[in-house]
Amino acid sequence: MKNNVTQFPANDKSRRDHFEATRRSIVKRRLTLTSTVFVGTLCIALFFTGNQYMNNESAQKELAKAQSEYETLVDKEKSLSEQVEQLNDDDYIAKIARSEYYLSKEDEIIFNIPDEKKDKENKE
């Protein structure tokens, strides 16, 4: 059977040297353990910070896209509201009917004059 008892040196100087060596070894182990825990904690904190940063960037891009889409929809709503107001106006409807479908009032003759811009586009 192995003896687990440590023999201390007999003289004072040897005892002090042995005690100092043991103390240094304990301090070194504590320092190593503390450093390892600190570095591990720092790595975990950096990982979560980086992950949160990436999530934040993604959310910012999504927010910008949603705001852009919202502005587009607001503009479209304004345009459609104006169009509804115009379509509720009898004069506007008569104007559209006359220009698009060549409807006329009684005793009115409509002449179709071609647009020069459209003719140039058709020739090209």
pLDDT at 7: 66
pLDDT at 40 over 80: yes
**Residue 75 to residue 27: CA distance in whole angstroms:** 71
* Residue 29 resides in a domain: yes
Whose CA is closest to 7, among 82, 15, 39?
15
* Domain that residue 63 falls in: 12-106
What is the chain's mean pLDDT, rounded? Answer: 87
CB count in 10 Å sphere of residue 112: 6
Q: What is the mean pLDDT of residues 39-52?
A: 97
Asked whether residue 74 is assigned to any structural domain, the reply reads yes
How many domains are there within the chain?
1
pLDDT value for 107: 78
119 found inside a domain: no
Q: Which of 1-10, 33-42, 72-81 has the lowest mean pLDDT?
A: 1-10
**Residue at 36 is within a domain:** yes
Structural domain includes residue 85 = yes
